[in-house]
Amino acid sequence: MNAQGTQAWNPGTYDSQLGFVSQLGKGIMEWLDPKQDEHILDLGCGTGDLAVEIAKAGAQVTGMDQSGTMISSARTKYPDIHFIVGDGEQFTLDARFDAVFSNAALHWMKNASGVIESVHHALKSGGRFVAEFGGKGNVDTFVQAFYEVMPRYGINPAERTPWFFPSIGEYTSLLEQHGFQVRIAEHFDRPTPLPEGDKGVMHWLEGFGDAFFKGLNDADKQAAKQEVYESAKHNLQVVNGVYQADYRRIRIAAVKS
């Protein structure tokens, strides 16, 4: 199954209510350190907000995402950047890149070996792969809420989960198996504020949890979503009145051998 295809994406909602994804991703840009005239692929580029940051350094950027609606939005927002629709789990491009960059996208691609093999093929010899994504334990409060609630609606959450949250050992081993030298890797906690109070919890569910509710009638979908919302809200940490999503991220920097 292509996990990318199980999630429906709304570019307007993504930008207005979930914009923290790109904002928090700017930290991994320091690891990428794009240079003038480098050719860089932004894998899982979404609506293009980090692709344009890479381009500001003088690099030639290609943004790729599985979602046609997200790519359409990116093209409208940033017409000077080249954006394409493509499957991150299985792609072949004619060009070769100095670097492949990815933020908050790889955990939507459950065929990790396919991703890494495709990235390896897309890179020039000595090219670098720099990425940040959800690691083991990421958003565990939401995950546990889905596992608690969804069986009551006849849904096996293990079959529906759209995410791949590996341990750092699991992912670095995959990289090495596919011809990468891992230069640095981190697995760290990053509590992430959800804006708009209670609404922020629901925005997260509606923005990222779509796969769990597919196939339910409208009444059951709303009821299940409300139950997941209540369960997650009860267990999330609150700091100064703001709910904190329990993000755990992996950052990696690797080089094609």
- Which one-letter DSSP state was computed for residue 247? -
Per-residue model confidence (pLDDT) at position 36: 97
For the cut 90, the answer to whether the pLDDT of residue 66 exceeds it is yes
Percent of the chain residues topping a pLDDT of 70: 90
Strands (E), 78-222: 82-85, 97-103, 123-134, 180-189, 192-193
User: Has residue 201 got a pLDDT over 50?
Assistant: yes
- pLDDT for 10: 52
Handedness of CA 117, 119, 124, 125 (dihedral sign): negative
100 in a domain, yes or no? yes
User: Token digits for 58?
Assistant: 């003088």
Q: HSE on the CB side for 183, CA within 13 Å?
A: 13
Q: What residues contact residue 168 under an 8 Å CB cut-off, 6+ apart?
A: 135, 136, 185, 186, 187, 250
Name the domain count of the chain.
Answer: 1
**Which are the contacts of 252, defined by CB distance < 8 A and separation ≥ 6?**
129, 130, 131, 132, 171, 172, 175, 182, 184, 185, 186
Looking up residue 63, the CATH number of its domain turns out to be: 3.40.50.150
Distance, in Å, from the CA atom of 24 to the CA atom of 155, rounded to the nearest integer, reads 32
Q: Is residue 222 part of a domain?
A: no
Beta-carbon count within 10 A of 113 CB: 11
Q: What whole-number distance in Å separates Cα of residue 208 and Cα of residue 197?
A: 17
* pLDDT range class, residue 207, cuts 50, 70, 90: confident
- Whether residue 132 lies inside any domain: the answer is yes
Residue 18 counted as domain residue: yes
Q: Which domain holds residue 37?
A: 3-138+162-194+246-256
- Of 105, 103, 68, the closest CA to residue 88 belongs to 105
Q: How far apart are CA 174 and CA 43, in angstroms?
A: 18
Looking at the domain assignment, is residue 134 inside a domain? yes
β-bridge partners, 253:
130, 184
234 CB neighbour count, 10 Å cutoff? 9
Mean pLDDT of 91-96: 96
239, part of any domain: no
Is the predicted pLDDT of residue 20 greater than 60, yes or no? no
**For the residues 191-215, what does the mean pLDDT come to?**
90
198: pLDDT confidence band, cut at 50, 70 and 90? confident
pLDDT tens per residue across span 111-139: 999 999 999 999 999 999 999 999 999 99
Flag whether 212 is in a domain: no
pLDDT-based confidence at residue 195 (cuts at 50, 70, 90): confident
Place of tokens 């069986």: 151
SS3 187: strand
What is the number of helices (H) and of strands (E) in the chain?
12, 10
Evaluate whether residue 234 is within a structural domain: no
The residues, ordered by sequence, that sit 6+ positions from 8 with a Cβ below 8 Å of its Cβ are 210
Alpha carbon 76 to chain centroid, angstroms: 21
